[in-house]
Amino acid sequence: MAGSLSPASFANKPITFGTDGWRGVIAADFTFERVMLVAPLAAKALEQIYGDKTPTRTIIVGYDRRFLSAEFAQATAESVKAAGYDVMLSECYAPTPAFSWAAKQHNALGALVITASHNPAAYSGLKVKGGFGGSVPPEVTKKIEVMLQEPPQSTNGSTTASITTFNPWTSYCDALKAKVDLAAIKEAIATGRLTVFADVMHGAAASGLEQILGLPIREINSEADPLFEGGAPEPLPRYLSKMFDQIKTYRQQSPEGLSVGLVFDGDSDRIAAVDGQGNFLSSQILIPILIHHLATQRGFTGEIVKTISGSNLIPLVAKLHNLPVHETPIGYKYIADRMLEAQVFLGGEESGGIGYGTHIPERDALLSALYVLEAVVQSGLDLSDQYRQLQTQTGFTAAYDRIDLPLASMDVRSRLLEQLQTQPLKEIAGVAVTDCLAIDGYKFQLADQSWLLIRFSGTEPVLRLYSEAATLDRVHEILAWAKDWAEK
């Protein structure tokens, strides 16, 4: 066991970029030496692809609250400056979307953000953002990976490049304030009609809502904790015991008035919520609420973009407002690509990333939080009551869950994949399959309006199973069927 975790094995691990950046274990494969190798190559790739259309040679450098994030950001800035690029280095932690916003606002080539998002404490990472304000397409990260295989080149020794520092919160918060009825939200909080809880999970959203609102809220896990209390800064129920307890206690003491809990991941680009009774609400519930609110109260128009794992309620609510729907593979980069080529109202994924065509092509949890608060204040209804109203209007009731199933080996993965390709499933958990969508794994629509999505990890023997059905019991029945099918 010790041999498999040796420093040499990490050092020899290739630097590869996933759907949203490069991540690795701190001091093992994510080291200062490697960060200072990658960062100037990322700047060079951004220049080669976007330089002709960008008036500056500026790179934004930002970071989250993880262990050594500020130090990694400083090393990133110095290595990028040494390669001849001007650097705007953040003077403090901030949400990843704030750095995407800064890249667009300052006409930069892009942004390099030190963050491992929702990963456990041992990890750090590097996200690459384009000057347009969102994650770069695969052609950029592939170019970085190719450069890493080439012989290292000496820096140009430029003495004109500079590092300046800036506060990323100021302009970002001003931009978000302008997008909501801030006065109505503040009045509801100040008069006690609305109580706001926010679990920032020791991450980069800390202080964000209070900076925007100019009012104190009940922020949970505000302090920095590089160990994340032994968990991970991911907006999932198993990490939210403090939030559940505080809201339920508050409801017992103050049964009148509205309350809402907002949950942010480590770098504040993903969101979940908790209703006034202490029930967890994933983005599968928030996205339909936000579509309805923004269409009716703000007159937003355009395309709704959802990933293949998104709830069937999303297109039904879109239909209420005569909005077109575009479906993509899983991964926010696919939504962001669509936001750059079409008029998009909202793009959202089941894991909590939601973005808006009136903002930047980037998921943004703080903006989503403000829209959620606005929806509660303007409707006067608890989030779950709003959701039930949409279920009634559409005639569609559903529950959702997912599981990750470890497989014995990659050979088992290959066998199951071949089986799906050559022996398509005709029936699942006793109900006929009516359709199959194969843009990302295999999504089977069933005759009872439920569905099952089977996806394979590309790098490890893991099967990802997703399902939506009329009841949670039926969801678990479908997932159990899929687990038995995979393990035969």
My answer on whether 271 and 238 are in the same domain is yes
Q: What is the DSSP string of 268-279?
A: SS-EEEE-TTS-
207 and 320 assigned to the same domain? yes
Q: What is the DSSP string of 20-73?
A: TBEEEEBTTTB-HHHHHHHHHHHHHHHHHHHGGG-S--EEEEEE-SSTTHHHHH
**Looking at the 3D structure of the chain, how many domains does it have?**
3
Task: Supply 261's token pair.
Answer: 């809990």
Report the alpha-carbon distance of residue 135 to residue 211 in Å, rounded: 25
| Residue/partner pairs of 11-19 with CB below 8 Å, 24 or more apart | 14/145, 14/148, 15/145, 15/148, 16/145, 17/128, 17/141, 17/142, 17/144, 17/145, 19/331, 19/332, 19/333
pTM for the full predicted model: 0.94
Q: What is the per-residue pLDDT for 4? A: 44
Are 162 and 186 in the same domain?
A: no
Task: Dig out the tokens for 81 from the structure.
Answer: 């400056």
Digitized pLDDT (tens) for each residue of the chain, 488 residues in all: 333 445 555 556 889 998 779 999 999 999 999 999 999 999 999 999 999 999 999 999 999 999 999 999 999 999 999 999 999 999 999 999 999 999 999 999 999 999 999 999 999 999 999 999 999 988 999 999 999 998 877 665 567 899 999 999 999 999 999 999 999 999 999 999 999 999 999 999 999 999 999 999 999 999 999 999 999 999 999 999 999 999 999 999 988 899 999 999 999 999 999 999 999 999 999 999 999 999 999 999 999 999 999 999 999 999 999 999 999 999 898 999 999 999 999 999 999 999 999 999 999 999 999 999 999 999 999 999 999 999 999 999 999 999 999 999 999 999 999 999 999 999 999 999 999 999 999 999 999 999 999 999 877 899 999 999 999 999 999 999 999 999 98
Same domain, 187 and 232: yes
CATH code where residue 452 lies = 3.30.310.50
Residues in the chain, how many? 488
Last residue of a domain, one of 394, 410, 439: 394
Nearest 10 degrees: CA dihedral of 368, 370, 376, 377?
Answer: -160
Instruction: Report how far apart the first and last C-alpha atoms of the chain are (Å, whole number).
Output: 30
Position 304 scores a pLDDT of 98
Claim to verify: residue 387 and residue 417 sit in the same structural domain: no
What's 27's domain CATH number? Answer: 3.40.120.10
Q: Of 364, 394, 424, which residue is a domain's last? A: 394
Single-letter amino acid, residue 403:
I
What is the predicted pLDDT for the residue at 170?
Answer: 97
Residues 161, 205 within the same domain = no
Residue of 400, 431, 13 whose CA lies nearest to 237: 400
Question: Of the residues 116, 146, 171, which one is the last residue of a structural domain?
Answer: 171
Question: Do 162 and 184 sit in the same domain of this protein?
Answer: no
Which residue segment(s) compose the domain that 217 sits in? Answer: 179-394
Tell me the residue type at 300: F
Place of tokens 């006067």: 380
CA 135, CA 156: separation in Å to the nearest integer? 27
| Domain shared by 120 and 212, yes or no | no
Name residue, tokens 């509205």.
258
Q: pLDDT at position 27, please?
A: 96
Are 414 and 270 contained in the same domain? no
Residues 386 and 409 in one domain: no
Looking at the fold, whether 439 and 480 belong to one and the same domain comes out as yes
pLDDT given at position 130 = 95
**Same structural domain for residues 166 and 187?**
no
- Would you state the structure tokens that stand for residue 215, as one six-digit string? 């009012």
